[in-house]
Chain A
Amino acid sequence: MSLKIKALKKSLWVYHVSTGSCNNCDIEILDLLTPRFDVERFGIILAGSPRHADVLLCTGIVNKKCVERVKEVYEQTPKPCVVVAVGACACSGGIFRHGYQMAGPLDKIIPVHVYIPGCPPKPEAIIAGIVKFLKELK
């Protein structure tokens, strides 16, 4: 494992992308970043701009309006970066998979590394998913 990836694992800066979600997963993500769960002890902090980010936390089905935006945000993120699909909608489309506005799920648009299902996933589930991914990352 190179030093680059080793350092990346210890210091993940998160950018939160909502691709047309119902706001449920977003509230859980905001919960995750509060002092109660204290993800800063793993080096995870929230970044304001995709240029600073290492992780894109994506929520929601990708609706037709959002396709271009999601692609642009992914291209603006400096590589190597990790894309995490949070919630049933981002993973598979969930209950909206037959909807007329559906253009996703997320992995049809951009490469996705981690899937965290749930409607919404608890903050504990998001932490568990990220930790499992970091153990696998080479």
Chain B
Amino acid sequence: MNIAYLLFWFILYSVILSISGFIAGWIDRKITARVQWRVGPPWYQNFVDFIKLTGKEVLIPEGGNKFIFVFSPVLGLIAAFCVGTILFFVFREGFGFSGDIILIVYLLTIPSLSIILGGSSSGNVLASVGISRELKLLLSYELPFICGIVIPALKANSTTSLIEIIKFQQMNGSNILSLSGIIGFIVILIASTGKLGVVPFDLSEAETEIAGGSLIEYSGILLGFYKLTKSILLVIVPLFIVLLYLGGTEITGFGSFLIFVLKYLIVLILITLIRNTNPRLRIDQALKFFWGWLTLIGIIGILITLMGF
């Protein structure tokens, strides 16, 4: 594989990811609207939002660090594109390497880190409250998220390659069909709501209390990049869960592709329903929840996996 070939697929997958991200964002908003008994926005709403943001003026605060302020949204976006490209390569071409799960876990933290960088470079007081919450949240949800990743890795004979886990599931049935699989699925699903920053854990940009939090000073195309990163995370995190737990990604024809999309939609709808039926938690409650109950359940899941259920 030469560089030009990889670059071509990277750009193509980035475009596909952006489009599917906007559509996933629309599905999220539409389901929210239906839960609240409203009509909801039209399907092209997120595309229009992004085009509008590209046309707006970009304001850079005087008290901040200009280079980091402009650079950090781009950093988060590129990390999200990278994770998406790795996942697409895994399920389209069966291309993977030993340890790619660890790489994905690291790359998935970069969007959160870019929010922290951008917020701290803006020099706003409310943004500093937002980034302190984002940092604590990042520390808290990583532990149960990793517990949720360790369970399928242990089940597939202690491998760290995503493609090995998928092959194991194709031979022995999906991971979710066992007891430890169900526990792991619940843990990683709840931890991923923290990663996506949707409502029970959206305290870093709580619009009603700290007015947009870490994104408060962003406007125009830079805000658009952050919105795009959030949309892409809404694609890749459920996709990652589907690959780890719901298995069966061998796309041979239209039928199997449809089943794959259906699996993805189930995970997305579950996340949306969690978001719609829960109020926002305080940061101390979120920490207690992630480090207390969820990690405990995750460790019990790992023990059950080691016992072989």
Residues of A near B40 (CB, < 8 A) are 38, 40-41
CA distance A11 to B22 in the complex (A): 14
Residues facing A in B10-48 (CB within 8 A) are: 29, 33, 36-42, 44-45, 48
State the majority secondary structure of interface residues on B.
Answer: loop
CB-defined contacts of A49 to chain B, threshold 8 Å: 211-212, 215-217
Kindly identify which residue among A35, A38, A51 contacts B219, using a CB–CB cutoff of 8 Å. Answer: A51
Shortest CB–CB separation between residue B125 and chain A, in angstroms? 13
Question: Quick check: is B282 within 8 A (CB to CB) of the other chain?
Answer: no
B288 within 8 A of A: no
Are B55 and A3 neighbours in the complex by a CB distance under 8 Å? yes
Give the contact-size bracket for chain B.
Answer: 20 to 34
Shortest B217–chain A CB gap in Å is 6
Question: Which of A17-25, A74-82, A124-132 faces chain B?
Answer: A74-82
Most buried by A among B56, B211, B219, B220: B56
CB atoms of B49 and A3 under 8 A apart: no
Q: Which of B39, B45, B220 contacts A43 (CB 8 A)?
A: B45
CA distance A48 to B211 in the complex (A): 4
| B48 A7 Cβ-Cβ under 8 A | yes
Bound form: Cα–Cα A39–B195 in Å: 29
Is A69 among interface residues, defined by CB-CB distance under 8 A?
no
B227 to chain A, nearest CB (A): 10
Residues of chain A within 8 A (CB-CB) of B223 are 51-52
- Complex Cα distance, B52 from A17, in Å, reads 22
* Closest partner residue, chain B, to A76 (CB atom): B59
CB of B218 within 8 A of CB of A4, answer no
Q: Does B208 contact A (CB under 8 A)?
A: yes
**How many residues from A make CB contacts under 8 Å with B?**
23
Bound complex: CA of A49 vs CA of B41, how far in Å?
22
Instruction: Determine how close the nearest CB of chain B comes to the CB of A4; give it in whole angstroms.
Output: 3
Q: A52-B219, A78-B58 are in contact. Are A43 and B211 (CB under 8 A)?
A: no
CB-nearest residue of chain B to A49: B212
B93 interfacial by beta-carbon distance below 8 Å: no
Contact A51 B218 (CB under 8 A): yes
Answer whether residue B139 sits at the interface, using C-beta atoms and an 8 A cutoff: no
The smallest C-beta distance from B52 to any residue of chain A, in angstroms, reads 4
Also in contact, A41 and B51, with CB within 8 A (given A49-B212, A52-B223): no
Contact A38 B45 (CB under 8 A): no
- Whether B217 and A38, one on each chain, are in contact in the complex, defined by CB atoms closer than 8 angstroms, is no
CA distance A10 to B42 in the complex (A): 10
Cα-based distance from A51 to B219 in the complex (angstroms): 5
B284 CB-CB contact with A under 8 Å: no
**Nearest CB on B from A43, distance (A):** 6
Measured CB to CB, the closest approach of chain A to B243, in angstroms, equals: 33
Q: Looking at A10, A49, A76, which has the most chain B CB atoms within 10 Å of its CB?
A: A49
What are 5 A-to-B residue pairs whose CB atoms are below 8 Å? A3-B51, A4-B55, A8-B55, A51-B59, A80-B55
Which residues in B have some Cβ–Cβ distance to A below 8 Å?
A: 29, 33, 36-42, 44-45, 48-49, 51-52, 55-59, 205, 207-208, 210-212, 215-220, 223
Interface pairs A-B: 9 shortest CB-CB:
A4-B55, A48-B207, A78-B57, A7-B52, A48-B212, A38-B38, A7-B51, A48-B211, A49-B212
